[in-house]
C-alpha cells in the first residue's frame, strides 16, 4: 500500500540475515523503518508489538526462522533452529498465522535433510514465500469482499486489520481499499480500540493515506451507531478461526457482533486461510493473551515538544485486567471472506477452504 504515495510493505527480508519492518508504535506521528539483526531481536519486536497483527507476525515469525537458519552454527544447526522456533512461538499465543509462518519454514528446512547449505537457502525462500502469499491472499480478499460494499457503504471496523496487520493490503480493510479505488463512495466508522488504540492510531492513518473518508469513534459508540442505523455493515479481521467457525479477534469484537445482531446489521470476518486452526475445535480452545496492566493504566503519545511519552490516566492504586482478544461465536457471523471464497462460519464452510 502507499505511504506518502510510495508502495510499502509492513515487514520484509532485507538480506544478509536482516529483517526490516515498520516501527508501528510510532505511528501515526512518525513513520520509521527498523531492522532486526537476529531472530532474538525479531522475537522481541513481535512480543513488544513493534510489529503486530496476525498476518504480519506470521510473516515476521517466518522471517525470524530464516534468520536463525542463516546464522546457526553448522555443528549445532538443528538444535539452534529448534531453539529459535520455540523462542518465536513463545512471543504471542493467539494468532494462528504466527505458528503457520514458523512451521512452514521449519518444514522447508527439514525437507533438505542434512544438507545445511540448502536448508539455509530453503528457509529464506520459504519465509519470503510466506510474505508474498500473505500479500496475495489479502489482495484477493479485497476483490472477493468489495462487492459486499456496493450497496452497504457505511462500514464499521474494529482494531487494525489493514495492511499494517499483514504484509500488504490487509484483511478487513482490503475490500474497503478495493471498493474505494473502484470509485465506490464509502465512509468508515473506525473503532478506537482500547487499550492499544490500533483503530485510531493505525487504521485511521492507513485510511488517511488511501484517502478513504472516515471518523474515529470511541469503542463504546459502536452500539449506538449500529442501533441508529448509521452503519450498513461491520467487517473485522481475525487472529484465529476455530474448526467450528468461532473467531478470535481483538477484544471488543464480540460486543460489536452482539450489537450488530441486535440491529440486524451484517457482521463479516475477513481473514486468509492461514488464520484457520483446523486443530482448534472451538473458540473455547483458543488461548487468549493477557497483556500487561500498564497498557490499560497508561497511554502513550507525543508531547507538544516532540517527545514520545507515557502518561498515567488511572488512579495510582488501581490495577487493571487486559485480555487482548475475545471470541465471537460462529452464530453471530454472517460470513468469512477468505482468499478462496466467502464461506459460512460453520464446520463445513471452514473445512472447504482450510489448508
Residues forming the active site:
239
Q: Is residue 233 within 8 Å of 266, Cβ to Cβ?
A: yes
Taken in order 20, 23, 27, 31, the sign of the CA dihedral is negative
Please say which residue, 119 or 190, places its beta carbon nearer to ligand MRU: 190
Question: CB 325 → ligand MRU: shortest distance, Å?
Answer: 6
CB of 108 to ligand MRU, least distance (A): 24
CB-based closest residue to ligand MRU: 237
Q: How far is the CB of 11 from ligand MRU (least distance, A)?
A: 13
CB-nearer residue toward ligand MRU: 55 or 64 = 55
Q: How far is the CB of 270 from ligand MRU (least distance, A)?
A: 8
Which CB sits closer to ligand MRU, 17 or 162? 162
49 close to 60: Cβ distance less than 8 angstroms = no
- Rank residues 27 and 161 by Cβ distance to ligand MRU and give the closer one: 161
Closest CB to ligand MRU among 81 and 226? 226
Q: Say how far apart CA 296 and CA 29 lie, in whole Å.
A: 21
How far from 259 is each of 14, 156, 188, 310, 328, CA to CA, in Å?
A: 44, 12, 17, 33, 12
Which C-beta is closer to ligand MRU: that of 72 or that of 161?
161
Strand partners, 154: 187
119: cell is 536448508
For ligand MRU, the closer of residues 239 and 339 by Cβ is 239
Q: Would you tell me which residues interact with ligand MRU (CB under 6 A)? A: 52-55, 159-161, 165, 171, 198, 236-239, 249-250, 324
**All 3 cell numbers of residue 115?**
544438507
Minimum Å gap between C-beta 159 and ligand MRU is 4
Work out whether strand 33-36 and strand 2-3 pair parallel, antiparallel, or are unpaired.
unpaired
Smallest gap from Cβ 348 to ligand MRU, in A, equals 24
Distance of closest approach, residue 170 Cβ to ligand MRU, in angstroms: 8
Amino acid at each position: 500500500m502507499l505511504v506518502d504515495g510510495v508502495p510499502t510493505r509492513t515487514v520484509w527480508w532485507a538480506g544478509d540475515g536482516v529483517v526490516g519492518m515498520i516501527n508501528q508504535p510510532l505511528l501515526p506521528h512518525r513513520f520509521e523503518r527498523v531492522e532486526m539483526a537476529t531472530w532474538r531481536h525479531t522475537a522481541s519486536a513481535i512480543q513488544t508489538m513493534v510489529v503486530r497483527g496476525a498476518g504480519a507476525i506470521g510473516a515476521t515469525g517466518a522471517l525470524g526462522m530464516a534468520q536463525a537458519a542463516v546464522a546457526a552454527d553448522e555443528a549445532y544447526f538443528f538444535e539452534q533452529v529448534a531453539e529459535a522456533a520455540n523462542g518465536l512461538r513463545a512471543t504471542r499465543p493467539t494468532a494462528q498465522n504466527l505458528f503457520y509462518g514458523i512451521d512452514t519454514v521449519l518444514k522447508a528446512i527439514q525437507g533438505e535433510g542434512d544438507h545445511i547449505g540448502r536448508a539455509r537457502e530453503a528457509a529464506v525462500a520459504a519465509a519470503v514465500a510466506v510474505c508474498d502469499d500473505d500479500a496475495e491472499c489479502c489482495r484477493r480478499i479485497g476483490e472477493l469482499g468489495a462487492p459486499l460494499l456496493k450497496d452497504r457503504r457505511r462500514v464499521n471496523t474494529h482494531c487494525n486489520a489493514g495492511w499494517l496487520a499483514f504484509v500488504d493490503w490487509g484483511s478487513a480493510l482490503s475490500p474497503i481499499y478495493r471498493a474505494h479505488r473502484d470509485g465506490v463512495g464509502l465512509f468508515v466508522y473506525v473503532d478506537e480500540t482500547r487499550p492499544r488504540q490500533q483503530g485510531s492510531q493505525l487504521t485511521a492513518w492507513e485510511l488517511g493515506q488511501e484517502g478513504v473518508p472516515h471518523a474515529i469513534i470511541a469503542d463504546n459508540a459502536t452500539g449506538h451507531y449500529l442501533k441508529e442505523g448509521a452503519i450498513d455493515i461491520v467487517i473485522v479481521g481475525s487472529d484465529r478461526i476455530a474448526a467450528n467457525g468461532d473467531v478470535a479477534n481483538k477484544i471488543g469484537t464480540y460486543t460489536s457482533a452482539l450489537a450488530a445482531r441486535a440491529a440486524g446489521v451484517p457482521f463479516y470476518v475477513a481473514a486468509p486461510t492461514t488464520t484457520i486452526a483446523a486443530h482448534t475445535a472451538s473458540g473455547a480452545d483458543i488461548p487468549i493473551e493477557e497483556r500487561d496492566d500498564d497498557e490499560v493504566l497508561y497511554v502513550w503519545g507525543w508531547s507538544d515538544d516532540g517527545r514520545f511519552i507515557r502518561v498515567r490516566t488511572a488512579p495510582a492504586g488501581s490495577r487493571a485486567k487486559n485480555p487482548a482478544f475475545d471470541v465471537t461465536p460462529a452464530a453471530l457471523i454472517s460470513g468469512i471472506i477468505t482468499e478462496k471464497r466467502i464461506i459460512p462460519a460453520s464446520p463445513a464452510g471452514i473445512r472447504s477452504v482450510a489448508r
